[in-house]
Amino acid sequence: MSLPLSFLLPLLLLLLLLLPPHPLLATSPPQLQTLIPVKPQYHNPNLPRTPLAASKRFEGSSSLVDLRYHMGPVLSSSPINLHLIWYGKWERHHQEVIRDFLRSISPAASPPSPSPSVAEWWYTPSLYTDQTGANVSRSILIASERHDANYSHGASLTRLSMQNVIASAVSAVPSPVDHRNGVYLVLTSSDVVVQDFCRAVCGFHYFTFPSVVGYTLPYAWVGNSGKQCPEVCAYPFAVPGYMAAGGTKALAPPNGDVGVDGMISVIGHELAELSTNPLVNAWYAGEDPTAPTEIGDLCEGLYGTGGGGGYIGMVMKDGEGKSYNMNGKGGRRFLVQWLWSPVLKACAGPNALD
Ligand SMILES: *[C@@H]1O[C@H](CO)[C@@H](O)[C@H](O)[C@H]1NC(C)=O
Ligand SMILES: *[C@@H]1O[C@H](CO)[C@@H](O)[C@H](O)[C@H]1NC(C)=O
């Protein structure tokens, strides 16, 4: 449900995924179309493993891949209407990076982004169904945006006050609330402190309470960690001091901003989980619904073939040395974590080499 601080995959996943990179594949990038001026090359950043003990959550867990359906709804109505709340001070070009990522999810985008693409990445969540057999929607629309530049609920938010932020947005809109397809995404600027941010989470998703917001609406929050804890929440665009001392270099972010590029993967993680487990009673692993392990959690820190245990896997690098693993609208590139596929029973991403 929330994105914990570890970048680890448990041993079991490691065994499943730690295939030796195929020498031929490693040197032959996929055919990319004309939007990409520089031929990308897969590279192996070979980040060192972090100690297994850091991942208490998955330690020795055999329920790891026991992802089960708990009979609740998924976000199957199409399109999923995303209501964005920009909380705090945002720069326009940073907002544009995030909007471009969100607009890259729907496959209808024309012209289609070259493979491997964000739309192909969202194919994995769309394989999840509810008890009626309805799949998670393949399309996501930015239905509205609200700017809360005045920090209406302060520069320090709790998990619960996040719902007050949404309540303010809901009450500010004269049109009726969109219960059927609507979900909220709250994005806090780099100066906003959020309960558990950096210490335990980089983002989370949940649903609103009728007593606070008037409705039960699925929502997610993701914070810009750029000033507070980039080495935690914007990894691998920033690395912890002990890793840097060991020679690990941070990867260059594809859109030039550590905090914002780091948010993209967390937004992807939370949207995938929000869609497959919107009321926290659909798809998750583990016995404890208050700490569910969801489709993003299972693949956290994994961005390419061969990844696991702190190594992000094979990703691409552009001519300027910026790392990415998928293409979006208008020539944008993003580095986004993989997601658990219910069909492959493994983590999957569009840049897989096998
Ligand atoms: C729905 O998901 C199932 C797998 O769970 C998949 O076989 C099927 O192709 C999906 N349908 C659509 C329309 O995406
Ligand atoms: C934000 O707050 C300032 C000072 O309190 C006020 O002057 C301004 O009108 C507010 N802006 C909005 C959009 O509410």
Provide, rounded to the nearest whole percent, the portion of the chain with pLDDT above 90: 71
> Is the distance from the beta carbon of residue 6 to the nearest atom of ligand 1 less than 6 Å?
no
Asked if residue 5 is part of any domain, the answer here is no
pLDDT higher than 70, residue 64? no
pLDDT higher than 50, residue 27? no
Asked if residue 354 is part of any domain, the answer here is no
- Local confidence band at 42 (pLDDT 50, 70, 90 cut-offs): low
Asked if residue 113 is part of any domain, the answer here is yes
Residue nearest atom 8 in ligand 1 by C-alpha distance: 127
- Mean pLDDT score of the chain, rounded to an integer? 84
Residue-level pLDDT at 43:
55
CA angle 336, 73, 80 (to 5 degrees): 50
Residue nearest atom 9 in ligand 1 by C-alpha distance: 127
Residues in the chain: 354
> Is the distance from the beta carbon of residue 139 to the nearest atom of ligand 1 less than 6 Å?
no
Residue nearest atom 3 in ligand 1 by C-alpha distance: 127
Rounded average pLDDT over 329-352: 95
Tell me the backbone φ, ψ of residue 196, rounded to 5 degrees: 75, -5
Atom of ligand 1 nearest to the CA of 138: 14
The CA-to-CA distance between both ends of the chain, in Å, stands at: 29
Asked if residue 134 is part of any domain, the answer here is yes
Query: What are 109-165's pLDDT values in tens digits?
Result: 578 899 999 999 999 999 999 999 999 999 999 999 999 999 999 999 999 999 999
pTM of the model: 0.84
- Local confidence band at 2 (pLDDT 50, 70, 90 cut-offs): low
- Local confidence band at 310 (pLDDT 50, 70, 90 cut-offs): confident
Residue-level pLDDT at 102:
98
> Is the distance from the beta carbon of residue 78 to the nearest atom of ligand 1 less than 6 Å?
no
Residue nearest atom 5 in ligand 1 by C-alpha distance: 127
Residue-level pLDDT at 23:
32
Tally the domains of the chain.
1
> Is the distance from the beta carbon of residue 342 to the nearest atom of ligand 1 less than 6 Å?
yes
Residue-level pLDDT at 287:
82
Cα(171) to centroid(ligand 2), Å: 18
Residue-level pLDDT at 4:
55
- Between 314 and 56, the higher pLDDT residue: 314
Asked if residue 353 is part of any domain, the answer here is no
C-alpha 144/C-alpha 12 separation (Å) is 42
User: CA distances (Å), 109 to each of 114, 115, 212, 240, 271, in order?
Assistant: 11, 13, 36, 37, 18
Asked if residue 78 is part of any domain, the answer here is yes
Query: What are 51-61's pLDDT values in tens digits?
Result: 333 333 333 33
Atom of ligand 1 nearest to the CA of 128: 5
Residue corresponding to tokens 């990703």: 315
48 closest CA partner among 224, 189, 243: 243
Cα(286) to centroid(ligand 2), Å: 46
Please name the residues in contact with 215: beta carbons below 8 A apart, sequence gap of 6 or more: 170, 177, 179, 208
Residue nearest atom 4 in ligand 1 by C-alpha distance: 127
pLDDT higher than 90, residue 188? yes
pLDDT higher than 50, residue 3? yes
Provide, rounded to the nearest whole percent, the portion of the chain with pLDDT above 70: 81
Collapsing DSSP states into helix, strand and coil, what is residue 333? strand
Whole domain around residue 188: which residue ranges? 11-348
* Ligand number nearest to the C-alpha of 148: 2
Asked if residue 119 is part of any domain, the answer here is yes
* Ligand number nearest to the C-alpha of 343: 1
Asked if residue 284 is part of any domain, the answer here is yes
Q: How many angstroms separate the most distant Cα atoms in the chain?
A: 58
Atom of ligand 1 nearest to the CA of 133: 1
Residue nearest atom 7 in ligand 1 by C-alpha distance: 127
Query: What are 220-260's pLDDT values in tens digits?
Result: 999 999 999 999 999 999 999 998 999 889 999 999 999 99
Query: What are 192-204's pLDDT values in tens digits?
Result: 999 999 999 999 9
